[in-house]
Structure 1
Amino acid sequence: MIKAYYTATNGAISSQNYLDVLSNNMANVQTEGFKKSKGEFSDLMYTNIRGPEGTDTELKSGSGSKLNKADVVFTQGAPYYTGRSTDFAITGEGFFAVQFEDENMYTRGGSFQITNIDDENYLMYQGGYVLNSEEEPIILENTDDIIDVGVVVFNNNQDLVQAGNNLFGIANEDAEYEMLENPKVMNGFLESSNVDISEEMVKLIQIQKSFQLNSSIIRTADEIEQTINSLRG
């Protein structure tokens, strides 16, 4: 019963962690350019079941599973028209570069704002400066300017890590990337989140049932253990 207790506990913890991933996806279903995460599970250690006289058998007993990691899915969301001159959507691969005090961050969200700082009109996102194709902050002389928004492409998107506020940071110091010379950018459009709410709901139901099953096993194992202990007494 101790084995069942700990195996079910591992399953319940994995379900709870995966539920956090699904909840974050669903909370950002309307966030422009948001990229959903997909959970990857792995088996915990297996042990051989002992046979007669302590001999090993070919049967193995598992210890449950765990949420090993949550990978970001970088598939493109559908573009939709807004008509705003400061809205942009990338067609194909790439990210907008945003400069903060400490480092550059990257995003697929293109809902930018014009902010006046020291009598200069900067194009900004989440408090950072949006960079142009020369990797310089974009300064607008007037609101009718044609905006040169830079697009960065990474050799491997897995070198990026979610940093909150719909931004990505570079997780790998050896990450290779380049600024595109002729990016495919749609002005007056935004990219939808790539979260499919119906797909996430199905996963949510499955993970809730898994959590309930593991919780039931934990209760049953605990009750049996208490009964055994009372008989010993």
Structure 2
Amino acid sequence: MDKLLYTAVSGATRTLEAQAIRANNLANANTAGFRADLERVQQHQLQGAGHGTRVLAQTQSAGTLQRAGAMMATGRDLDIAIQGEGWFAVQTEDGEAYTRAGGFTLNAEGELQLDGRPVVGVDGPIQLPEYRELDIGNDGTVSVLPADGGLIDEVGRLKLVNPDAALMTKATDGLMRFDDGLVAPQDEEVQVTNGHLEGSNVHAIEELLASMNLGRQFEVQVKLMKNAETLAQAGNRLVRGS
């Protein structure tokens, strides 16, 4: 009975963790550049006498779905989307990190930022002067026409990288990083499109169906726990009556 209970609890715990991942995906279905999380589970066979072939579910760190999201036209100068594979680089407190989100902004000093973090350029942070027009080329080159007119000036170039996504993991801030702190090099093959954003790659219907299936699994596991309790109570009655 205890074995049944522990097995059911293991499955129910795994199901709740998977539901949390699916709920987070649904909450970010409209977040630009968001990559859906995937639950990963490994079977763990108990060792030792008396366990037989008992197998419990052991949750692993979540994976990340790498398919591209839909391209959305915005017409905004500072909205940039990557064509095909690749990543933008941003500077965080613990080093360089990578993202597909390209809704950039400018701070009071004219520095290009993403969610309050400096956007990494090929030659360091990118700072824009006051300008009349802004253009970001397919290779990430940032050019401006000064506010007082004159010649178009190149003020920097976005650092665009294309490391193997399997070597990176997504942190709680939604940014991708190398586990060993490595920094990805500039990749000249990565191209961007100005005036567009990449949407989330979450498919809401898939997530809803997965959540429904997980809910059914949880109900089954709860029933198994109740059955284990009923069996334990019946066993106790037999012991007391003997």
What letter is aligned with 2:19?
A: L
Of 71, 75, 79, the match for 2:67? 75
Aligned residues of 2:77 and 2:134 also touching (Cα < 8 A) = no
Residues 1:205 and 2:212 aligned together: yes
Q: Could you tell me which of 123, 141, 145 is aligned with 2:134? A: 145
The equivalent of 1:180 in structure 2 is 187
Deviates more, 1:77-86 or 1:158-167: 158-167
- Cα distance change, pair 163–65 in 1 and its aligned pair in 2 (3 A): closer
**Structure 2 residue ranges without an equivalent (≥5):** 136-141, 143-156
**Which string of whole-angstrom CA distances, capped at 9 and with x for unpartnered residues, describes residues 46-71 of structure 1?**
57998xxxxxxxxx633332323321
Aligned-partner SS, 1:67: strand
User: What is the one-letter code of the residue matched to 2:68?
Assistant: Q
Considering only aligned residues, what root-mean-square deviation do their CA atoms show, in Å?
2.1
Could you tell me which amino acid in structure 1 is paired with residue 233 of structure 2?
Q
Structure 1: 5+ residue stretches without partners:
51-59
- The answer (yes or no) to whether the contact 2:31–2:199 under 8 Å persists in 1 is yes
Q: How far apart in 2 are the matches of 1:169 and 1:61?
A: 38
Identity in percent: 28
Counterpart of 2:178 in structure 1 is: 170
Q: Is the 8 A contact 2:35 2:66 kept in 1?
A: yes
Q: What is the letter of the counterpart of residue 111 of structure 2?
A: Y
Instruction: Map 1:1-233 to 2 at 5 A.
Output: 1-45=1-45, 61-117=53-109, 121-134=110-123, 136-143=124-131, 144-146=133-135, 147=142, 148-154=157-163, 156-173=164-181, 175=182, 177-233=184-240
Structure 1 residue 116, shift from structure 2 partner: 1.5
Q: Deviations over 1:162-189 (max 9, x none)?
A: 223432222134x473212253101110
Task: Find the residue that maps to 2:68 and give its secondary structure.
Answer: coil
Note if contact 1:159-1:172 (Cα within 8 Å) is conserved in structure 2.
no
Q: Is the 8 A contact 1:28 1:193 kept in 2?
A: yes
How many positions carry a matched residue from both structures? 218
Distance in 2 (CA, whole Å) between partners of 1:98 and 1:200 is 29
Q: What is the alpha-carbon distance in structure 1 between the residues aligned to residue 48 and residue 119 of structure 2?
A: 57
Q: 1:209 to 1:109 in 2, by over 3 A?
A: same
The answer as to whether partners of 2:101 and 2:197 remain within 8 angstroms in 1 is: yes
Alignment check: 8 A CA contact 2:86 2:162 kept: yes
Distance 1:38 1:102 in 2: 25
SS of 1:179's equivalent in the other structure is coil
Q: Quick one: distance in 2 between partners of 1:9 and 1:187?
A: 50
Deviation at 1:101, TM superposition (A): 4.0
SS in 1 for 2:112: strand
3-state DSSP of counterpart to 2:201: coil
Give the C-alpha shift of residue 100 in structure 1.
2.9
SS at match of 1:13: helix
2 CA distance for matches of 1:34 and 1:98?
A: 15
Counterpart residue identity of residue 140, structure 1: L
- What's the secondary structure of 1:16's corresponding residue? helix
How far off is 1:91 after superposition?
Answer: 0.9
